Amino acid sequence: MQTSPAAVSPSSRPTREPDLRAPLIQVTNLQKTYKTPRGTLNLFTGLDLQVQRGEMVAIVGQSGAGKSTLLHILGALDAPSAGTVYCASTNVANLSPREAAAFRNREIGYVWQFHYLLPEFTALENVAMPLLARGATKREALALAANWLKEVGLDDRGSHRPGELSGGEQQRVALARALVNNPRLLLADEPTGDLDQTTAGRVFDLIESLHASHGLTSILVTHNLDLASRCTRALKLESGRLVPFAAASHSGPHPGTM
Ligand code: ADP
């Protein structure tokens, strides 16, 4: 496991570690309601989810089913309308904006379909950002970021700006940035959705390997059933709930209409 710099590690996690056998994620009776011009949209209808530590869970489902919203709620980027959401021993529904930001920085690595790297900074500086946000010195942050670039196979690309990297390389840098603070939970929203099939497979290989080597718990939203079939288990979000999904390996076109 990567060691955090001394400046940012003490008291960065609750000192009383919870029962390690307890699920890392426990969602009960989750509801999310949006008021829209056409009326109330009830996105989740009492959704329940338990994820054990070390699991790699795929979430599939039609576009608009609420997959991104669910990840946002788990990652304290959005609030539930009702229900309880325990994530990494924290009741994420009860966090103030400041606490939510600290929780995200400490516990969550987030990867999106698009890398959202800052174009004016180098790959190395992009990876160092979350460490700086957490109080590491520039020297410590750059040293750890360099280790992470090496870990994602890009130690020779540190001085490149995102625009000088391929799509797969950009996503590798985004993964390094997501994990540089040593979070427990990786949330990935279509992490390979913008990549060709071969590159998508390689990026997924990397996610799998980082998941195992860093003891992560990972939740991946994907339309790619081949990749979903490689996860510990797959769930389908339909009619506001999660149901078990048999993601047998599929070949052929990307099932983008799911
Ligand atoms: P998915 O990731 O499965 O494609 P999303 O979670 O992005 O689905 O969105 C689920 C539904 O919630 C969509 O119909 C979307 O339009 C709606 N939605 C998302 N955010 C809002 C919002 N802030 N206000 C109203 N409706 C929203």
| Dihedral in degrees, nearest 10, Cα atoms 152, 214, 192, 129 | -60
The response to whether residue 104 sits with its C-beta less than 6 Å from ligand 1 reads no
Ligand 1 center from residue 64 Cα (angstroms): 6
Task: Write down the domain spans for the chain.
Answer: 25-245
104-144 pLDDT tens trace: 999 999 999 888 999 999 999 999 999 999 899 999 999 99
Mean pLDDT of 27-56: 94
CATH number of 25-245: 3.40.50.300
167-211 pLDDT tens trace: 999 999 999 999 999 999 999 999 999 899 999 999 999 999 999
pLDDT of residue 76: 93
The response to whether residue 66 sits with its C-beta less than 6 Å from ligand 1 reads yes
pLDDT of residue 257: 39
Return the ligand 1 atom nearest residue 36 CA. Answer: 25
Ligand 1 center from residue 128 Cα (angstroms): 31
Mean pLDDT of 83-96: 90
pLDDT of residue 34: 92
Query: What is the pLDDT of the chain when averaged over all its residues?
Result: 89
Among 30, 41, 45, which residue has the most ligand 1 atoms within 8 Å of its CB, making it the best to mutate?
41
Ligand 1 center from residue 240 Cα (angstroms): 12
Report residue 73's pLDDT band, with 50, 70 and 90 as the boundaries.
Answer: very high
- How far is residue 197's CA from residue 190's CA, in Å, rounded to a whole number? 13
pLDDT of residue 114: 87
pLDDT of residue 19: 64
Return the ligand 1 atom nearest residue 41 CA. Answer: 26
> Going by CA atoms, what residue is nearest to atom 21 of ligand 1?
34
pLDDT of residue 5: 41
pLDDT at 248 over 90: no
98-114 pLDDT tens trace: 999 999 999 999 999 88
Task: Kindly give, in sequence order, each residue whose CB lies less than 8 Å from that of residue 167, ignoring residues fewer than 6 positions away.
Answer: 194, 195, 196, 199
pLDDT of residue 208: 96
45-64 pLDDT tens trace: 899 999 999 999 999 999 99
Instruction: For the chain, give the percent of residues with pLDDT over 90.
Output: 79
Report residue 74's pLDDT band, with 50, 70 and 90 as the boundaries.
Answer: very high
- How far is residue 237's CA from residue 201's CA, in Å, rounded to a whole number? 23
Q: Taking a C-beta distance cutoff of 8 angstroms, is the pair 44, 32 a contact?
A: yes
7-22 pLDDT tens trace: 444 334 444 455 667 8
Return the ligand 1 atom nearest residue 63 CA. Answer: 4
The response to whether residue 33 sits with its C-beta less than 6 Å from ligand 1 reads no
Mean pLDDT of 24-51: 94
